[in-house]
Amino acid sequence: MSIMIPAWVDGTLTPVEKLDAHKRGLRHKAVSVFVIRDVAVLLQQRAMEKYHTPGLWANTCCTHPDWDEAPDACAVRRLEEEVGITGLQLEHRHHLEYRAEVGGGLIEHEVVEVYVGHAPADLSVVPNPDEVMAVEWVDYHALLETLERNPERFTPWLRIYLTDHAETIFGADLVQA
């Protein structure tokens, strides 16, 4: 079964098959979630079976909403489907757009709604092995240092978020701490 996502074709929002949207580099809707605990960010390492950017580290979860799905509902759904997190209150932080080559001739041209959730110390994280091969809590500032030294370990969108949108996503307190 093919997954239909909302993409703009000739200026009109249209349901388009997900892989086709990436092959054609169509501008499309997306959702990204960051879960934070104190100064640590929960990252996921994408499963090797993913059709683009397998094995790279990304934010807590990211996806494309279904054709008729609200972004906030999508964020909650995928947080559970990818990393098994439920019951976490999410806060909408940013609306942004980026375009990045993700390998294999595929392009992510996304209009993204970004959400942040603040995790309690006892948050249960249960990665779905079809989506995620590992998760790790990483100190925000250590993450920036690793990103600078080894950018190839991270997805293009995580690099964009941390380089161009960090203060809006994480807040000045965390970024400047």
Active site residues: 62, 110
Residue showing tokens 């994408």: 46
127 backbone dihedrals φ, ψ, rounded to 5°: -65, 140
Cβ atoms 37, 118 nearer than 8 A: yes
Crossing angle (nearest 10°) for helices 156-164 and 140-149: 120
Between CA 31 and CA 123 the distance in angstroms is 21
Rounded alpha-carbon distances, angstroms, from residue 132 to 50, 83, 136: 9, 7, 11
Between CA 137 and CA 122 the distance in angstroms is 13
Strand runs (DSSP E) across 89-167, as ranges? 90-103, 106-118, 132-139
Among residues 151, 152, 167, the alpha carbon closest in space to that of 94 is found at 167
